Amino acid sequence: MVIGLTGGMGCGKSTAGRMFEAHGFNRLDSDEIVHDLLATEPETIREVVETFGAKVKAESGGVDRTLLGSIVFSDNQKLKALEEILHPKVRKAWERAVAVDPEANWIVEIPLLFEKNLQNRVDFTVCVFTDLTSQVERLEHKGIGRAQALARISRQMPVPEKAEFADFVLLNEGSLEFLEDQIKTLLTRL
């Protein structure tokens, strides 16, 4: 089984993903795949530098994600250009991983699951839901300023809308134990 796990930035997808992993699921995080592509994959680095200029190349040889983020999250056209480079590569990466072990249970964190119409590539969809205030607070704890957090959140489908499309919704506004209990309940129904 392949579960597509989504939600807005700061909703707790990674926390939920790790909980599924603790229950025996193989976990794939689309954001981690992006980080790897931008840090180590020569073709991706070349395409990003060609599209956004040499200024986005980090001393390490990869892409300066912080600078790239400040460029794309303030310009819809630039964000679209970056997505056109990254999204097909990310999808292929997780589809290849699942194909290696198709009998396993997989949890695939896909922030833009519904925005990119990927729900038909998974067996089941789960949305991690939290309120906007909690989202912003969590992103601020990760070092993203309030204005930048709100700008990034506004570029995604609203979490209530994602929740409407999902097969199951996890409410992440309480304790970690509360989230874990919801996951345990869900797993008894699959």
**pLDDT tens across 87-117, in order?**
999 999 999 999 999 999 999 999 999 999 9
User: Tokens representing 150?
Assistant: 């709100």
d(CA 96, CA 100): 6
* Strand bridging mode 168-171 / 106-109: unpaired
User: Tokens representing 153?
Assistant: 């959140």
Q: Model's pTM, two decimal places?
A: 0.89
User: Tokens representing 176?
Assistant: 């970690």
**pLDDT tens across 114-151, in order?**
999 999 999 999 999 999 999 999 999 988 889 888 88
Grouping H, G, I as helix, E, B as strand and the rest as coil, residue 171 is: strand
Q: Where are the alpha helices (DSSP H) in the chain?
A: 13-22, 30-40, 42-52, 65-72, 76-100, 132-141, 146-154, 159-165, 176-189
Structural domains of the chain in order of their starting residue, each with its CATH number: 1-25+105-190 (3.40.50.300), 31-104 (3.40.50.300)
Rounded to an integer, the average pLDDT of 160-170 is 96
